[in-house]
Each structure stands twice: as C-alpha cells, then as structure tokens.
Structure 1
Amino acid sequence: IPRSLRPSLRPDGLEQRVRATATRQIPGRVTQPGSRSGDLCGIPGLVGERLEPITGRSSGCGIAEPVRLRSVDGIALSSPATVNCDTARALQTWVQRSLVPTVGRTGGGVSSLRVVASYACRTRNNQAGARISEHGRGNAIDIAGIGLANGSELTVLSDWGGGRDGRILRDLHRGACGPFGTVLGPNSDRFHRDHFHFDVARYRSGPYCR
C-alpha cells in the first residue's frame, strides 16, 4: 500500500512521557534543561541544570536537590559540578567578592575555573574508616586552577609558593573563608597541595580555614 514519506505527527505529550520515564529510571538525569539561561537555584548568573535526587550507595551520601553547575556569572567551569544549591550560591559569592576583584585584569581577567571534584560518595580524602566527605553530600567543590583570558592559568600546585601569582592565590584562599564554612589548601595537609577544597559545612566556632 503506498504511503507518504512524511513522518506522522507525534502524539500529544509523548516527549514529556518519555522524559519522565527516563528521569525515573536514571538517577541524576536532567529534569530542568531550561535553567541553562542563567537562573539555576533561583539566582541569576548560575547556569546549569536541575537533576533528579541522587541516592548514595553508602549511608550518609546523596543530594536531595542536586544541580549540575556549568558556569558562574559567565565564568565557565572546566567540568560541570554536581552540587547542591547552597554550594552553588557560596561559589557565586566567592566569585563576585573575591575571585573577580582579586585577579582583576591579570592575564586579561578570569575566564574559567578548573574543577577537579564535586559530588562523590566517598570518605574524607578517600581514607578507609574516615567519615563521609562533604563531597558525598553535595556540599563541596575542589578547584585546582584559575583560567585567564590570555590562555594562561594560575595553578594551586605550581603558583602557591610566592610571587605575584602566589599572592593572588593566597588572597583567593582567604576570600573563600566566610562564603564557605571549610576552606583547605596547600598549607592544610598533603591531600590538598594541588587544589582548594571549599565546602559549606558550618561550625559553631566559625569557618575552618587552613
């Protein structure tokens, strides 16, 4: 029987039903792609997607309302960071109050952040018997470098020691203390010699920054 080569119209609601089925079956799938416009977590400047709740494989892990953060105020993340909204908001506060003004026009200004860790269901520093890391709750993000517009990068591993770049990195470390409840860097221990660890865990005595 001859048939038209034109595809038939999709039934109404088919796309929505397929998306809903996919997000139920695969934890962490995108549920709100429209948030790429820049209002993730209800905050202008945060770009990414809302995700389905993440259930960790170990007790204490997981994120009830995760997001996949891609950029902050136009500054791209080298790898999308899976975090909660508290962490995303704290990162934006650090970007606005510390990162952009501290770096200034050095290398043409900040263009990106090299993210080396976000959500991961694991213990602190991957040590056997340790407590669950704040990464396992979506509360943390690790940053190893600051990309500049001229193509160069300030790296925690290479530039922390001294000189102008070292002063910038130490100021950025100091500036994160407040927006984040825990700030760790090369002076804290051997596990953080090549990156900054930022997390939003809070303590009665105030921020813990080393």
Structure 2
Amino acid sequence: MRIVWITLLIPFVLAASDVPGVVPLPVEKPEQTAAEDAPSREKAVDKKDTAKEQTAPEPSEPVDPPPPAPDEAALAACEAQLKALGTVFKRQDAVDGPGICGLPASYSVDEIVRGISVAPTTQMRCRTVLATARWIDEVVIPAAKVLGDDVRLTGIRQASTYVCRTRNSQPGAKISEHARGNAVDVRQFEFDGHDPMPIQPQQRKGSPEEAFQKAVRAGACLHFTTVLGPGSDAFHDDHLHMDLAQRRSGYRLCQ
C-alpha cells in the first residue's frame, strides 16, 4: 500500500520542482531599443528648433532720426547779419532726409548780397548762406575790378546746395557736406559789362579772367573750411566746391 501512494506522489513532486520561484521577463535587444528610440529623439529636436524659429525676434529696421531742433537764438543772430549784408532770403521748413541727411532749418536765397542774384533755388543752412554772402562781399566783388572799371558782378549760378548723397556720389564714400546743408557749388559768375565766366581749368596765360578765378578761389578759404576746384580732382573741374566741414584743430582744406 505504501508503494502505491509513493508511486502516485512522484509525478506531483517532480512537477513542483520544475516551476521556478520568479518568472523571468523577456530581455530587449540593445539594437532594437536604440532603433525605436531614435525617431522620438529626432522629433524632440525638431520641436525645439521649430520653437526657436517661432520665437526668434525679427531684425529691426535702421533708425531714421528726425532732424535736430533748430537753435533759434543762433538763427536769429545769423539772419541779422544776412540782413546787414542785404541778403534776400526766406526761411523754409526743416529738411528730413533719409538717415543722417537733412537740416533743422533750410534757407532759400534770391540775392546773396544786395543786387547779386543766386540761381537756381537753394537749400542751405543759415551759416552756409552767411559764409557765401561774406565771400561774395569781401572777395568776389573786389576781385571783379580786375576785369575792368565798368564791370560789375550781378549774379552767381550754383550747381548744388542740399542733396542727400555721399562725397562725389561715390558708393561707399563718406557722407557729403551737401547732405547736411553745409556746402555750395558755384558753377558760374555773371556780370554787367563782361561775358559770364564759368569755372574751368585755366591755361596760365596771365589773363585777367585767370587772375579773377584764382583770387576768388583763394579767398574762399577765408570763409569756408573746404575749397575744391579745377585741378583738385576729376570731380571739380567745372565748379568751386565750398563747405563748412569741421576738422581737428580748425584745419582747412584748400586745393
């Protein structure tokens, strides 16, 4: 009888000994895990880049400052001196050019000094008008006497006053004094009793006309800080450029 019970219990004992205490979980292969994670990481990077693109500030446009407020006291003093010289002028509104171009108050001139016209219409600062008027009164009128006792200056033709451009209109050059209303280009003098005299290269023949042009050009540097004309460079063979550029130690460029 014992033998029968032992025989019946053997299968159950063997079955119990084959069952492990902890069931092992399947192990993932490293290659498979890395491959499955890669797309999710790429999506995360894409989302970050997209967020940066959406939040990145757009570049701001260059600031175009308005012209500075005019110094009314200085303008009043300048205008008083112009009136004493007989200048016929009109104050215009400020010129608001692009970038740093422009001037706080613009002046158009009909007569630079009494009886001497200016054409065409000008746009200059008051101090530029005053420098031009003093030059005409103190230098040009007396120099015209070399042309004859009966010769009288009646007008000047200007080629340029205010214009927003670089020096000599060259790309990449510094801003011109014309862009600030500080310059005037004189192309021709007109007379009663003599033919009009354009600014041009001289032949050094010792003529009264050459003496006149040389005198007014040299005398301009008493009133302007820059004077350029024929022979200075290829850009100034047909006019006198005069401006009020400020330089260190009061240096004046006279060529």
Could you tell me the TM-score, scaled by structure 2's length? 0.63
4+ aligned runs moved over 4 Å, structure 1 = none
Are residues 1:77 and 2:115 paired?
no
Percent of aligned positions with the same letter in both sequences?
Answer: 31
Are residues 1:180 and 2:224 paired?
yes
Are residues 1:112 and 2:155 paired?
yes
Per the alignment, residue 103 of structure 2 pairs with 63
Per the alignment, residue 31 of structure 1 pairs with none
For residues 41-190 of structure 1, the aligned pairs below 5 Å read 41-42=79-80, 43-44=82-83, 45-57=86-98, 59-73=99-113, 74-104=115-145, 106=147, 108-150=151-193, 152-157=195-200, 160-162=202-204, 163-190=207-234
Are residues 1:209 and 2:254 paired?
yes
Show structure 2 runs of 5+ residues with no match: 1-76
Deviation at 1:202, TM superposition (A): 2.6
**What is the one-letter code of the residue matched to 1:175?**
G
Query: Any idea what SS the aligned residue of 1:194 has?
Result: coil
Deviation at 1:106, TM superposition (A): 2.7
- Cα contact 1:40–1:49 (8 A) shared by 2: no
State the Cα deviation string for residues 32-69 of structure 1 (Å, max 9, x = none). xxxxxxx9822212212111110112x22101011111
Cα distance in 1 for partners of 2:196, 2:125 equals 27
Deviation at 1:105, TM superposition (A): 6.7
Could you tell me the TM-score, scaled by structure 1's length? 0.76
Structure with the higher fraction of residues in strand conformation: 1
Query: Could you say if the C-alpha distance between residues 40 and 46 of structure 1 is closer, same or farther in structure 2, counting changes exceeding 3 Å?
Result: farther
Deviation at 1:155, TM superposition (A): 1.2
Deviation at 1:157, TM superposition (A): 2.0
Query: Any idea what SS the aligned residue of 1:120 has?
Result: coil
How many residues end up aligned between the 2 structures? Answer: 170
**What is the one-letter code of the residue matched to 2:231?**
N
Cα distance in 1 for partners of 2:133, 2:121 equals 15
Per the alignment, residue 4 of structure 1 pairs with none
State the Cα deviation string for residues 174-209 of structure 1 (Å, max 9, x = none). 000020010000121000000000101132252111
Give RMSD over aligned pairs: 1.8
**Aligned match for 2:243, one of 195, 199, 204:** 199
Structure with the higher fraction of residues in helix conformation: 2
